[in-house]
Every structure is written in C-alpha cells, then in structure tokens.
Amino acid sequence: MAQSSQWDVSQNCSDLHHLLCNGTMNNSLGSHSQSLEDILLSVLGPRRSSFFLPVSLTYLLIFTVGVTGNLLTCTVIAKHQKMRTPTNLYLFSLAVSDLLVLIFGMPLEIYDMWQNYPFPFGEGGCYFKIFLFETVCFASILNVTALSMERYIAVMHPLKSRYVMTNQHARRVITGVWVVSFICAIPNTSLHGIYYLYLPEKVAESAICSLLKPLWMYNLVIQITTVLFYFVPMTIISVLYLVIGRRLNRENRVPKEKLGGKRTSGATWKIHLECDRRRQVNKMLTVVVVVFAICWAPFHVDRLLWSSVSQWTDAMHATFQYVHILSGVLFYFSSAVNPLIYSLLSTRFRECFRGLVCIQAARTSPPPAPKTLKSSYTLGSHDSNRAGPGAQPPSSVSNGCWDHDDEKMYV
C-alpha cells in the first residue's frame, strides 16, 4: 500500500523532463533561477501530505487495535492445543501477514506522509518496502482462498476431510502460499528503485522510492496480479460459500425431520451441537471474506487507476488522492478487524481471548487479602459440592477465568 504513495509523487513528474530542461536552461543562461526547494516542490510536490495528521491518528488507532488483536490470535492458537485446527492454522497465517504489514508497513507509510522525500532508507529499504506490500497482498488473498477451500471440503465431504484436511496438510499449504507470494512479489519489486533529480548533478534531497522501469511494464504486472490475486480468488470464494450456505441450510432441517424419533436424545443433541458449531464457524469466516473483499477493493482500484491513466488533470489527481487515502485506511483496517470478528462471532476465540486477558491480569494484580481468599474458597467449595468432583478449583473462581481445557468451551 505504501508504494502507491510514491506512485502518486511519480505521477506529478509526468512532465519531468520538460520541467528539468527549462530549469537547467534558466540556470545556464544566468537568469533568475529558482531555489532548490522551489524546484523540488514544483516537480515532486510538497514534502508533507496535507492529510498527514488525520490519517496518522487513524493509523495509530488501527495499529493499536490490530497489533493487540493479532498477537492475541497468534498466542491463543499457539498456546491451546484444541485451537490448532486446520482452519485456525490458516487464520494464524493470516494474522502473521497482518502483523507484518502493521509493524513494518504502516510506519513506512506514515513516514512517507510526513516526509515524502528524500527517502532515507536507500535502495535496500525501497526494495524491502515494495516486496513487503506485494508479498502481504498475495499471501492474504491466498490464505483466505485456501481457508475457503478447507471449509468447503469440511462441509461438503466431512468424512474425507478427517484424513485429508489435517494440520500437517494445512502447514504444507501455508508454506506453499508464502513461497508463491514471495516469488510473485519479485516482478513488481524489480520495477522500482531510488529515483533522483539531476540539475544537472544528482540532487540527494530528491531521492524517492518510485517506479523506474517503463510504465507499460508496470501496467502489465498490475493488471495480471489484480486478476490472478483478486478477481479470480474472490469469484472462487463466492461460489464456494454459496454452495456451503445451501448445504448448511439443508442440514439445519435434517435433525427436525429425520432424527427426532430415530435417535436417542444424547445423539440428537450431539448432532445439533455439531451443526450449530459448523454454522458458527462458517458464519464467522463468511464475514471475514466479505470484509476482506470490501476493504481490498479500493486498494486494487487505486493500483489500476494509477496504472491506466496516462494524462492527468487537476480534477483527476484530486480524486485519486482521496481514493488513495481511502484505500490506505481500508487496507490497514482489514489487517486489524479480523480479531474483532473472531471475538464477536466465535465462542471459542472469545473465551480464549478472555481467558488470556484474565491470566495476564491475575499475574499483574497484587495478591488478595486473606479474608478475600477465605471468601473465595468458601464460594468455590460450595460450587464444588454442587457440581461434583469435576468442578473448577477455587483459584479459577477467584480469578474470574475459565479452564481452557474444558471441552465445553470448544463446542
């Protein structure tokens, strides 16, 4: 995403050679020459974006929520054995992708808005920035696509999924997703580099990380990657979830029509719980996919718009600036919103998030007074007598947390 902030600057240089030729000629003729800052302003635009303050505050909020939520997601999946399902492994990979773009990409974007030039991180920093955003872009959509295919097999072929869609298989797919993403990020990265103005000597203050190769090469790369890594995957995902939804709607009627008098109450209840759990998981993932599609659409419109327009007017450039700001906010919002969706729509994640926060709060809080301990123990003992030998220990009651190994939590 940050790379397009430099593409915006590069577009201001569409008449670069004409401007520089005039500036150099004026200097050589001894006429009243512009200062270096004036030349940089006329060619590269202002150093600081006029949207810097509001966008930076918005990014700071997204950064705080996104990093906290995605770290909680990764910790919960890594810590709890029962949370390490194939579905959650894909969510873990998606959370890692989101963390990369939030921790490494967002600071670069904010710095670009604060000081558009000179780019201080050199050629390697420029390559890293472009490569990071391209890799995250591809890895995110491929993770969501693989996740959707896994859910399709789990719902449509439940018996087959037990021995095909294993954790080991998911790890292999995730590894393939990242390898493909790394490889596909190379072409666009190779088109960029550090660009300098020459007046006629190289002006170090003008360094920007921007497109260096011919524009037609960039247009071709963007058009191909947009089709292969957005339109095709989103079409496949939409069809898969449409089929999944129809199947689950049919299954919702099966227990009432066929199982009522032919099964024991225990068996019927287990089937009912399993159907509810599957519907909850698929509802959550459907929301994830819809939010992903909405948030990433402006990002691809931003790229296609910049690559397809050859002659820019002031009105078009002003419109593009707003599209670019909107695409950036939604791009980073998509990296922060997933943990919120998990917490709202998944009982498993919600209870695990709560338990993890409770544990951290209990570790940092001072020990309770003896009288409070006695009261908590009495309450715990009373609950144990009512619940039987499998009841929670007194410490669980006093901490206000649930035992995350309890099977009921994962239903």
pLDDT at 377: 37
End-to-end CA distance of the chain: 39
Residue 350 burial class via C-beta count within 10 angstroms: exposed 0-12, middle 13-18, buried 19 and up: middle
Say if residue 178 is exposed, middle or buried (CB neighbours under 10 Å; 0-12, 13-18, 19+). Answer: middle
Alpha-carbon dihedral sign for residues 67, 111, 178, 333: positive
- Name beta bridge partners: 193: 210
Mean pLDDT of the chain: 75
Supply the range of the domain harboring residue 77.
Answer: 3-365
Give the Cα separation of 48 and 25 in Å (integer): 29
Residues 196 and 327 in one domain: yes
Could you tell me the pTM of the whole model? 0.74
284 shares its domain with 402:
no
% of the chain exceeding 70 in pLDDT: 71
Q: Are residues 79 and 212 in the same domain?
A: yes
**Which residue, among 345, 300, 284, has the nearest Cα to 140 in the 3D structure?**
300
* 161 in the same domain as 136: yes
326 vs 54: CA distance, rounded Å: 12
Q: What's the rounded Cα separation, in Å, for the pair 317 and 309?
A: 10
297 and 403, same domain (yes or no): no
Please report the DSSP string for 158-184 in residue order.
HHHHHHHS-HHHHHHHHHHHHHHHHHH
**Domain harbouring 281, CATH code:** 1.20.1070.10
Measured between alpha carbons, how far is residue 171 from residues 41, 122, 161, 174 in Å? 50, 35, 15, 5
**pLDDT tens-digit series, residues 303-360:** 887 777 777 777 777 788 888 888 889 999 998 988 888 877 777 777 887 877 776 6
Residues 223 and 255 in one domain: yes
Is residue 338 within 8 A of residue 288, CB to CB? The reply is yes
pLDDT, average across residues 367-396? 43
Structure tokens at 89: 């492994």
Note whether 263 and 389 are same-domain residues.
no
Q: Helix, strand, or coil here: 210? A: strand
Residue from 94, 97, 119 nearest 44 by CA: 119
354 or 191, which is more confident: 191
Of 173 and 309, the structure prediction assigns the larger pLDDT to 173
Give the HSE-up count for residue 227: Cα atoms under 13 Å, Cβ half-sphere: 5
User: How many separate domains does the chain show?
Assistant: 2
Give the pLDDT mean for 75-86: 87
- What phi and psi, each to the nearest 5 degrees, are found at residue 2? -65, -25
Task: Please tell me whether residues 53 and 197 are part of one structural domain.
Answer: yes
Q: Calculate what percentage of the chain has a pLDDT beyond 90.
A: 26
Q: Are 309 and 382 members of one domain?
A: no
Q: Is the dihedral of CA 378, 384, 389, 391 positive or negative?
A: negative
Dist. CA 129–CA 104, nearest whole Å: 8
Specify whether 384 is located in the same domain as 268: no
Residues 257 and 391 in one domain: no
User: Using CA atoms, how far apart are residues 367 and 398, in angstroms rounded to an integer?
Assistant: 11
- 296 and 154 housed in the same domain: yes
* The residue count for the chain: 411
Contact (Cβ atoms closer than 8 angstroms) between residue 400 and residue 368: no
Query: Comparing 251 with 19, which gets the higher pLDDT?
Result: 251
Last residue of a domain, one of 365, 381, 402: 365
